[in-house]
Structure 1
Amino acid sequence: MSAGSMSVPEGRAVTVRVPATSANLGPGFDTLGLALGFYDQLEVETRAEAGATVEVIGEGAIDSAAPVPTDASNLVVQSIAHAFAHAGVAMPGLNLRAHNNIPHSRGMGSSSAAIVSGLMAAKGLLEGIFEFNEVTLLELATELEGHPDNVAPALFGGLTIAWTTDEGPRCKKLLVHRGVSPLVLVPSFTMSTKLARSLQPDSVPHEDAIFNVSRSSLLVAALTQSPELLFESTEDKLHQDYRAEAMPQTSALIKVLRENGFAAVVSGAGPSILVLCSDPSQRIATAELVAQHEESPWRKLMLAVDFAGAVSWNTFSSSHAKK
């Protein structure tokens, strides 16, 4: 029996947990990403009635300053639909409950988390009907996000190196040195990823490109083997300076942190700041310095590196199964 002739039973339920991510990491523009121990959780259950309804708790809730859609236009629902279309199976009616902890429009991978949540939910709902492998999940996520640097660590965890080939996106997951202690500084203001990308020039000086190749190569070594090299390896000439005028508070605080020897970079498209500390004591010292210099409050998240990536688990109510 083909997948297209099968349907998902009513009452099948899936829960998904997806980590926040930080992309670029300074010099690794559109290539390097890191999964962080800070999570969105999604609960999905199939129903008899067609369509989808979404209950959002936390970031993007209906009573928040920037609510997200609660119908079929929701990014999670769109991602589920994208996976079902790939599988050639009609999407059932869905009830979704999204527990959103990852800040939106702050450079912590909230859109990637939504996309990966939807794909992993679809994978769970289609278990036994259609199987998704890791390559397919990365391809589908990249089609929706546009580039793989955030979706790769959201899917697989750890430090990821992402690249594209004629056959599609690929990534390599690496384990991070246990001494690496991330600190994410989250401001109250937001930043549009589209705006940040529009500030990027179409070309850069040859010497700047060489500079970033050396630093991004060194950063892989620093994160996996030699945390003492984190400061030097997080230098960048490709994107952060071009975007600085759009987020002056971020730029100013990074300048203070780096002048004091801390490996601070823009997290993703910003405006959050990622500080890659070489040990927990350095992370505490960084937070104390921020408290002394912040012009407005920054939320200080002392996070672990997430090594698992997106995880899901299924429940199935046989009483709702289609006969």
Structure 2
Amino acid sequence: MTLTPAPVPVGRSVQVKVPATTANLGPGFDTLGLALSLYDNLTVTVRDAPGARVEVVGVGAGEVPTDDRNLVVTAIRHTFAEFGYALPGLDLVARNAIPHGRGLGSSGAAIVSGIMAAKGLLDGIVDIDSNALLAIATELEGHPDNVAPALFGGLTIAWTSHDSPRHKKLMVHRGVSPLMCVPESTMSTELARSLRPASVPHEDAIFNVSRSALLIAALIQSPELLLDATEDRLHQSYRAAAMPGTESLITELRSHGLAAVVSGAGPSILVLCSDPAQRLEAAELVAKHTATHWQTLMLAVDFKGATVISRPVEALV
């Protein structure tokens, strides 16, 4: 397909903010996701020279590509191409806080950052609605459970209908207090997915259906049910051997009545506490668990999702 040069003026700039996410939440494998108050920030400016130049500050500095191979640039290019436009020359500054390779949706955040940047740059030229945003993000990420909450915030249920991804956003009970436990080690999403069996026993599937339904009720109405609601038989036990430190801490936390689960593909741990006092209790237990060093992050649920602000060219003069 021949792409048309994008009618985006040199100097147009957008600022994007995207939250971290945690997927699965225990039983909701590839379906449930939650946006959290930890953010990557991106500034993109159109320039005269072709190609992309990326500056990375914070997480990923010196590690991720800083040219056209960068995942954010890939997402911007893909979005422009979806609407028939070639990528203009770009300067990008990425200020990242979301850890990479630890189950907090960093790749999904990068993809959503790029798509939202493209949306802002094409403002007034193309109208990119929420369905298109989710479809493009899912195509790039491969599944919608992380990109849906990154885009829309809150608790999201994601599914596919007639070959297109869909989502439902729900508000979370104000008492729910997430604690994220982040280790120094990383985990490949591809490896984590490869550890799942091709099929599971019928009774395990029924078990997870019941727990997923209960988890929705616990998160939006009855946080006291979170421990039972986060039980899982579909994926966490199969991945445990690859993340022994994660498995050990989850077992300990749950033995104290705390709803601890693997965050996404891991190895980070999400503890869904029913109130701030219980979250402090969880953090104290993690601090005593000295077999592995864990960074604890007391986060809020992000309800806004990704945002983009456009700065007109004349504002930059």
TM-score tier after normalising by the smaller chain length:
over 0.9
SS in 1 for 2:86: coil
CA distance in 2, matches of 1:5, 1:250: 49
CA deviation digits over 1:83-120, x for unaligned, max 9? 00011122110000000100000000000000000000
CA distance in 1, matches of 2:112, 2:61: 19
Please name the residue that 1:28 is paired with: 28
Please name the residue that 2:16 is paired with: 16
Structure 1 residue 302: deviation in Å?
0.2
Aligned residues: 315
Per the normalisation by structure 1, the TM-score is: 0.96
Superposition RMSD on alpha carbons, in Å? 1.3
1:312 is matched with which residue: 308, 312, 317?
Answer: 308
CA distance in 1, matches of 2:44, 2:288: 44
Please name the residue that 1:294 is paired with: 290
Summarize the Cα distance change of 1:295–1:49 in structure 2 as closer, same or farther, 3 Å threshold: same
Answer whether contact 2:51 2:89 (CA < 8 A) is retained: yes
Structure 1 residue 7: deviation in Å?
1.0
CA distance in 1, matches of 2:316, 2:169: 39
Please name the residue that 2:7 is paired with: 7
Letter in 1 for 2:126: F
Structure 1: runs of 5+ lacking an equivalent? none
Please name the residue that 1:201 is paired with: 197
Once the two structures are aligned, what percentage of the paired residues are identical? 67
Answer whether contact 1:4 1:87 (CA < 8 A) is retained: no
1:177 is aligned to 2:173? yes
CA distance in 2, matches of 1:294, 1:110: 26
Please name the residue that 2:247 is paired with: 251
CA distance in 2, matches of 1:6, 1:104: 32
Answer whether contact 1:10 1:320 (CA < 8 A) is retained: no
CA distance in 1, matches of 2:295, 2:186: 13
CA distance in 2, matches of 1:117, 1:319: 22
2:91 is matched with which residue: 95, 101, 112?
Answer: 95
Answer whether contact 2:178 2:273 (CA < 8 A) is retained: yes
Which of structure 1's runs of 4+ aligned residues deviate more than 3 A?
A: 3-6, 318-321
Please name the residue that 1:271 is paired with: 267
Letter in 2 for 1:219: L
CA distance in 2, matches of 1:300, 1:292: 12
Letter in 2 for 1:239: H
Structure 1 residue 297: deviation in Å?
1.6
Summarize the Cα distance change of 1:159–1:319 in structure 2 as closer, same or farther, 3 Å threshold: closer
Structure 2: runs of 5+ lacking an equivalent? none
1:43 is aligned to 2:35? no
Identify which range, 30-39 or 82-91, moves more after superposition: 82-91
SS in 1 for 2:211: helix
Answer whether contact 1:24 1:149 (CA < 8 A) is retained: yes
Answer whether contact 1:175 1:307 (CA < 8 A) is retained: yes
